[in-house]
């Protein structure tokens, strides 16, 4: 079996960056080069001040500090890194298509295809090409076709090795992965490639956690894993609406069902709705694939997970409006949190964006505080929706760096992200600064209802009457 000593990863994003940092850290004999066409991103990865890395992820900067410049490199020299590597991870973005056939559902594979063409153009010797990005089932076929039709005599083995890390816990997820999935051809050379990649992960993971499958099962399993996870959140969120109409409490229901070992207790936290770059995108992709294979019942089944998530975000925003006497026009509503979950600066598909959009439609004045998200990001997220002009977004919504100053004369606070620091705030001082009645809408079930009510707040907690 070929021993891998040089790796290249195309795409220095939320997956490429942390994943390669951990591989470099765990495998000192392997030289890892992460390349990207985005010069700014690479400059941030190379910044001497580790607080300026492009991604905030607990534990990441310590690992980068240990490995960068030794066996971990970040560069924009894509061709050179491809040429020198024996194994190439493709870890570029695969967003939902915004144009043409499959618009709004299918995955846009143009970045993947560009990578495959780049590899085909540059490679002079045999390579293992690994799909790290999340891809529709059967994409490996397309990559193979591009690579094998270059006519330069180079042999490529294509593997699927989807990533299961969650943001905010990426380093721990990588170091203690539940499983690593490696799909490849069931031929002798395919097996050899699977074993070469397995050997990397086996440097720190036990053998039974490294699963080998055929390439199609691996591609599909990634979409299915995300669909099942998102389905749990939508399921519990659907019940949260029912809890609010009855005297049931969603936390008690989650706990009660989670004790059943067949159901399990994880991923049953009711919230304002799931966000993140992948759940929605991957389910839409699954729906699209099912429909294209003539399976409308399967497609409709999974689509419901997204419909329920949209309902939850809308329901939260509408509740704010009706509770504030059916009008939020000119009222100051403070958002605590903008990121799609705690411990990340990622805001892609964050529920906060959609709740803000609904409230801005009603002319609310929103003030956002998030410990890790800069103002430019918040405005970019809103502008991207194209609901109103950028000037209007900037007029109605402000982003601040001080959480306590934000609440001065506010009508309401809405908790959109479960940052730990929100629990430590002096809520009595916050109450004193706000207009009365002072409303808190807790979309993350972060705060204690009894304590908040004792302080005088009109407190709404998702999933509780
Ligand atoms: N974000 C997450 O937590 C997870 C993401 N994934 C999947 O991993 C893939 C990557 O996701 P992220 O890292 O979040 O995306 P990202 O957007 O953070 O990073 C992708 C990077 O690829 C670069 N890129 C695009 N085309 C390129 C090219 N032709 N040559 C060189 N660089 C190029 C972009 O400039 C960007 O920096 C997606 O398929 C996603 O579904 C899988 C598991 C977890
Ligand atoms: O493919 C991906 O991108 C990744 O998607 C998710 O990871 P991530 O989106 O980073 O974060 P999660 O912890 O899964 O949270 C997703 C969203 O669901 C919400 N959520 C999660 C759990 C829960 O019980 N309740 C809930 O509302 C979170 O607040 C967040 O908005 C999966 O957990 C990863 O396994 C997968 O690799």
Count Cβ atoms below 10 Å from residue 203 Cβ, excluding itself: 12
The CATH code of the domain that includes 103 is 3.40.50.720
* 191 lies in the same domain as 328: no
The CB of 340 under 6 Å from ligand 2? The reply is yes
* 157 lies in the same domain as 36: yes
Atom from ligand 1 closest to the CA of residue 162: 42
How high is the pLDDT of residue 1?
A: 67
* 203 lies in the same domain as 239: no
Alpha carbon distance 418, 28 (integer Å) = 36
Cα 155 to ligand 1 centroid, rounded to whole Å: 25
* 11 labeled part of a ligand binding site: yes
How high is the pLDDT of residue 151?
A: 66
Could you tell me the pTM of the whole model?
Answer: 0.96
* 201 lies in the same domain as 280: no
Atom from ligand 1 closest to the CA of residue 133: 39
Catalytic positions are 278
State the pairing for strand pair 397-399/127-131.
Answer: unpaired
Atom from ligand 1 closest to the CA of residue 165: 44
* 200 lies in the same domain as 234: no
Atom from ligand 1 closest to the CA of residue 282: 41
* Tokens matching residue 147: 């690579």
CA angle 71, 219, 276 (to 5 degrees): 75
* 289 lies in the same domain as 407: yes
* 293 lies in the same domain as 392: yes
The string of DSSP letters for 411-461 reads: SEEEE-S--GGGGGS-HHHHHHHS-SS-EEEETT--S-HHHHHHHT-EEEE
Pick the last residue of a domain from 178, 213, 248: 213
Residue minimizing CA distance to atom 12 of ligand 2: 166
* 254 lies in the same domain as 130: no
Atom from ligand 2 closest to the CA of residue 167: 10
Alpha carbon distance 4, 42 (integer Å) = 24
Cα 11 to ligand 1 centroid, rounded to whole Å: 6
How high is the pLDDT of residue 465?
A: 84
Cα 157 to ligand 2 centroid, rounded to whole Å: 31
SS3 category, 5: coil
* 161 lies in the same domain as 281: no
Pick the last residue of a domain from 180, 196, 213: 213
* 15 labeled part of a ligand binding site: yes
* In a domain? residue 444: yes
Pick the last residue of a domain from 180, 213, 246: 213
CA 121 to the chain's CA centroid: 32
Q: Single out the residue of 227, 229, 216 nearest to residue 283, CA to CA.
A: 227
* 14 labeled part of a ligand binding site: yes
* In a domain? residue 1: no
* In a domain? residue 49: yes
How high is the pLDDT of residue 152?
A: 77
Count of domains for the chain = 2
* In a domain? residue 276: yes
* 209 lies in the same domain as 226: no
Cα 94 to ligand 1 centroid, rounded to whole Å: 7
The CB of 167 under 6 Å from ligand 2? The reply is yes
* In a domain? residue 301: yes
Cα 233 to ligand 2 centroid, rounded to whole Å: 9
Cα 387 to ligand 1 centroid, rounded to whole Å: 26
User: Which burial class, exposed, middle or buried, applies to 83 when counting CB atoms under 10 A from its CB (0-12, 13-18, 19+)?
Assistant: middle
Alpha carbon distance 15, 92 (integer Å) = 9
The CB of 271 under 6 Å from ligand 2? The reply is yes
User: Which burial class, exposed, middle or buried, applies to 417 when counting CB atoms under 10 A from its CB (0-12, 13-18, 19+)?
Assistant: buried
* In a domain? residue 30: yes
Per residue of the chain (465 residues), what is the pLDDT tens digit? 678 999 999 999 999 999 999 999 999 999 999 999 999 999 999 999 999 999 999 999 999 999 999 999 999 999 999 999 999 999 999 999 999 999 999 999 999 999 999 999 999 999 999 999 999 888 888 899 998 887 678 999 999 999 999 999 999 999 999 999 999 999 999 999 999 999 999 999 999 999 999 999 999 999 999 999 999 999 999 999 999 999 999 999 999 999 999 999 999 999 999 999 999 999 999 999 999 999 999 999 999 999 999 999 999 999 999 999 999 999 999 999 999 999 999 999 999 999 999 999 999 999 999 999 999 999 999 999 999 999 999 999 999 999 999 999 999 999 999 999 999 999 999 999 999 999 999 999 999 999 999 999 999 999 998
Q: What residues are in contact with ligand 1 under a 6 Å CB criterion?
A: 10-16, 35-38, 41, 78, 91-94, 111, 114-115, 133-134, 163, 165, 167, 277-278
Alpha carbon distance 381, 377 (integer Å) = 6
* In a domain? residue 428: yes
Q: What beta strand segments (E) does 338-380 contain?
A: 365-369
* 57 lies in the same domain as 146: yes
* 96 labeled part of a ligand binding site: yes
* 281 labeled part of a ligand binding site: yes
Q: What beta strand segments (E) does 298-445 contain?
A: 332-336, 365-369, 397-399, 412-415, 439-442
* In a domain? residue 456: yes
| Domain containing residue 67 | 6-213
* 154 lies in the same domain as 249: no
* Tokens matching residue 7: 């790796």
Residue minimizing CA distance to atom 20 of ligand 2: 274
């Amino acid at each position: 079996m070929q021993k891998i000593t040089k790796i290249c990863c195309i795409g220095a994003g939320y997956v490429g960056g942390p994943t390669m940092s951990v591989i470099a850290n765990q495998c000192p004999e392997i030289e890892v080069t992460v390349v990207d066409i985005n010069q700014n991103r690479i400059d941030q990865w190379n910044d001497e001040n580790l607080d300026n890395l492009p991604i905030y992820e607990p534990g990441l900067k310590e690992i980068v500090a240990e490995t960068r410049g030794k066996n971990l490199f970040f560069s924009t020299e894509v061709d050179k890194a491809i040429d020198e590597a024996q194994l190439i991870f493709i870890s570029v973005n695969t967003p939902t298509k915004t144009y043409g056939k499959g618009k709004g559902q299918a995955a846009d594979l143009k970045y993947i295809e560009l990578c495959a063409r780049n590899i085909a153009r540059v490679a002079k010797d045999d390579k293992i090409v690994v799909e790290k990005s999340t891809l529709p089932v059967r994409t490996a076929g397309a990559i193979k076709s591009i690579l094998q039709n270059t006519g330069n005599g180079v042999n490529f083995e294509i593997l699927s090795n989807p990533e299961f890390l969650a943001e905010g816990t990426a380093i721990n997820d990588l170091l203690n992965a539940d499983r690593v999935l490696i799909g490849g051809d069931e031929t002798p050379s395919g097996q050899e490639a699977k074993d070469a990649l397995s050997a990397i992960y086996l440097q720190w993971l036990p053998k039974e956690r490294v699963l080998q499958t055929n390439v199609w099962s691996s591609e599909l399993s990634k979409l299915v894993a995300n669909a099942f996870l998102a389905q749990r959140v939508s399921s519990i969120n659907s019940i949260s609406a029912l809890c609010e109409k009855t005297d049931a409490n969603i936390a008690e229901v989650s706990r009660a069902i989670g004790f059943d070992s067949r159901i399990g207790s994880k991923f049953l936290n009711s919230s304002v709705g799931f966000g993140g770059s992948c759940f929605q995108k991957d389910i839409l992709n699954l729906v699209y694939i099912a429909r294209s294979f003539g399976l409308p019942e399967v497609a409709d089944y999974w689509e419901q997970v997204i419909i329920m998530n949209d309902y939850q975000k809308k329901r939260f925003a509408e509740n704010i409006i009706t509770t504030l006497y059916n009008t939020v026009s000119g009222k100051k509503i403070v958002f605590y949190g903008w990121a799609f979950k705690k411990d990340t600066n990622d805001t892609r598909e964050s529920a906060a964006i959609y709740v803000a959009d609904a409230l801005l439609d009603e002319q609310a004045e929103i003030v956002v505080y998030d410990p890790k998200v800069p103002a430019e990001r918040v405005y970019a997220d809103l502008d991207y929706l194209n609901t109103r002009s950028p000037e209007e977004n900037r007029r109605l919504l402000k982003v601040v760096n001080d959480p306590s100053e934000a609440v001065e004369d506010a009508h309401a606070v809405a908790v959109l992200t479960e940052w730990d620091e929100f629990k430590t705030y002096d809520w009595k001082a916050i109450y004193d600064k706000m207009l009365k009645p002072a409303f808190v809408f807790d979309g993350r079930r972060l705060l204690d209802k009894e304590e908040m009510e004792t302080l005088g707040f009109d407190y709404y907690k998702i999933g509780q009457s």
